[in-house]
Amino acid sequence: MTAKRRAPRRTPSGLAELRRRLHVAEETLRALRAGEVDALVVSQLEGEHVITLQGADLPYRILLDQMYAGAVTLTPDGIIVYCNRRFADIVRLPLARVIGSPLARFVPPAEQRALAALLDGARTDQVRGQFAVSVRDGAPVPLSVTLAPLRLDGDAEVKGVIGVFVDDTERQHQEEIRTRLIQQAMTAQDDERRRIARELHDETGQSLTALLVGLRTIEDAPTVAEAVELAQRLRATVAQTLHEVGRMARGLHPRIIDDVGLAAALTGQARDFAQTYGTAVDVRIEGPDAAALPPILQTTLYRVLQEALTNVARHAAARNVRVRLLRDKAGVELRVTDDGAGFDATARPEGKAGNQRRLGLQGMRERAALLGGSVTVESRAGAGTTITAHFPVNGA
């Protein structure tokens, strides 16, 4: 007789464990179907492996890839579940080789203790610190780090850690650029004050002194006819003084922009230049009304045209000048072209005239840089010069 094999009986504790596992599996499937899961951590022989679900990282990618800083999402034990491309660029590895790796992999041994302390603190509260990361074929990159606990839907339990990493080297470079621009602006202000003080002393001061001497002379005039003649001379001096004071006031702030708008101000400036130097100037303004531009951008455009026309008068010996102001939704462009002597824009300046021209161009470039714009110069000896200044409207 052959005995039949009986199936092993499940103990009550074994059935409870099966029910628990079934509940976990059902809950996992429900979360996957509901889109509540972005990635899975799978235990394998070689260790844990992170699998990101297709399409689940799209919202992260759109948001985080626009960041200047590196951003990561970590499991509580420091495994990188997600990171943006900026962090991958910092550690100089493809994105696929970063996700699933422990953050400690990118930190040299000397910085491991600092990283562990930050991760430990980030499980309860936001922490900040600094450490370096190792990069392939390069020196360690110093980073400023902010870590914070990740909690979902108001749950008190910490699900992971989020981190933001800023390259200190690049930040220092940006700070240096900012400091240099501020120094250039302060230098320009000092130069402007020095110029105004010199003009007040040399021109307005001399005119006022002449008026004072003339008034004393009138007091001592032997006849009324001589007094009248002296008064007429003083009247001419006063008129000249008022003209010079008005010119300096326009140099400080072109009020004509406030009175008639940028287009009329640029046209008037070109007309005055043509009358003063006998050069034909053609002005054309295209695009939407430039009155909507920010005031500082309008003033900068006026100054750039002023400096460009000054360079034409001093160095170009041109007979014709074209001025174009082009405006669209993205930005505004001012172009000044002359048919004068021209110069080699790539050569080093020689002599006083060359240095003055170069200083004028440098001043235009510094004004443009403060507003996020640029100035380019195209010129050849005997073929005239074109100066183009371009400004982003939003940047201003």
Give me 144's structure tokens. Answer: 């400023």
172 vs 390, more confident = 390
Total of domains in the chain: 2
SS (H, E, C) the chain: CCCCCCCCCCCHHHHHHHHHHHHHHHHHHHHHHCCCCCEEEEEECCEEEEEECCCCCHHHHHHHCCCCCEEEEECCCCEEEEECHHHHHHHCCCHHHHCCCEHHHHCCHHHHHHHHHHHHHHCCCCEEEEEEECCCCCCCEEEEEEEEEECCCCCCCCCEEEEEEEEHHHHHHHHHHHHHHHHHHHHHHHHHHHHHHHHHHHHHHHHHHHHHHHHHHHHCCCCHHHHHHHHHHHHHHHHHHHHHHHHHHHHHCCHHHHHHCHHHHHHHHHHHHHHHHCCEEEEEEECCCHHHCCHHHHHHHHHHHHHHHHHHHHHHCCCEEEEEEEECCCEEEEEEEECCCCCCCCCCCCHHHHHHHHHHHHHHHHHHHHCCCEEEEEECCCCCEEEEEEEECCCC
299 & 159 share domain: no
Residue 59 pLDDT > 70? no
Q: Which of 109, 143, 173 is the last residue of a domain?
A: 173
Q: Are strands 141-150 and 331-338 parallel, antiparallel or unpaired?
A: unpaired
Average pLDDT for residues 294-306, to the nearest whole number? 87
Does residue 387 contact residue 309 with C-beta atoms inside 8 Å? no
| Whether the predicted pLDDT of 334 surpasses 90 | yes
Please report whether residue 213 resides in a domain. no
The CATH number of residue 356's host domain is 3.30.565.10
Tokens for 260? 């008639």
394 pLDDT more than 80: no
Question: 173, 196, 226: which is the final residue of a domain?
Answer: 173
What's the confidence (pLDDT) of residue 390?
93
d(CA 103, CA 105): 5
Pick from 312, 327, 318, 321: nearest CA to 389 = 327
Can you give the pLDDT at residue 322?
A: 94
Tell me, yes or no, whether 168 and 271 share the same domain.
Answer: no
Average pLDDT on 111-137 reads: 84
What span, in angstroms and rounded, lies between the C-alpha atoms of 121 and 203? 69
Domain end point (choices 156, 173, 190) = 173
Q: Is residue 108 part of a domain?
A: yes
What's the rounded Cα separation, in Å, for the pair 248 and 109? 65
Task: Report yes or no on 199 lying in a domain.
Answer: no
Residue 337 CB partners (closer than 8 Å, separation 6+): 321, 322, 324, 384, 385, 386, 387
Other C-beta atoms within 10 Å of 35: how many?
10
Q: Is residue 220 one of the residues assigned to a domain? A: no
Q: Are 267 and 394 members of one domain? A: yes
Based on the domain organization, do 274 and 152 belong to the same domain? no
Same domain, 158 and 269: no
Cβ neighbour number for residue 188 with a 10 Å cutoff = 14
Q: pLDDT tens digits, residue range 84-96? A: 888 888 888 888 8
- Whichever domain contains 24, its CATH number is 3.30.450.20
Inside any domain, residue 68: yes
Domain coverage including residue 384: 254-396
278 lies in the same domain as 396: yes
Q: Are residues 161 and 278 in the same domain?
A: no
Residue 282: the pLDDT is 93
Tell whether 158 and 275 lie within a shared domain. no
User: Of 134 and 99, which is predicted with more confidence?
Assistant: 99
pLDDT digits (tens, 9 = 90+) for 346-386: 666 555 554 555 566 787 888 888 788 899 999 888 888 99
Main-chain phi, psi angles of 146, to 5 degrees: -125, 125
pLDDT confidence band for 154 (50 / 70 / 90)? low
For residues 32 and 152, state if they share a domain: yes
From CA 128, how far away is CA 121, in angstroms rounded?
9
State both tokens at 169: 């080297």
pLDDT at 335: 94
> What is the residue-averaged pLDDT of the chain?
77
Residues 298 and 157 in one domain: no
In a domain, 181, yes or no: no
Starting at the edge strand that comes first in sequence, how are the strands of the sheet with 141-150 ordered? 80-83, 70-74, 160-167, 141-150, 127-133
Q: What is the pLDDT of residues 158-176, one digit of tens each?
A: 888 888 888 877 777 777 7
What is the rounded distance in angstroms from the CA atom of residue 64 to the CA atom of residue 95? 13
184 within some domain:
no
**Domain presence at residue 73:** yes
**Which of 73-87, 186-200, 203-217 is predicted most confidently?**
73-87
CA distance 66 to 86: 9
Whether pLDDT at 1 is above 50: no
Give mean pLDDT, residues 207-233.
81
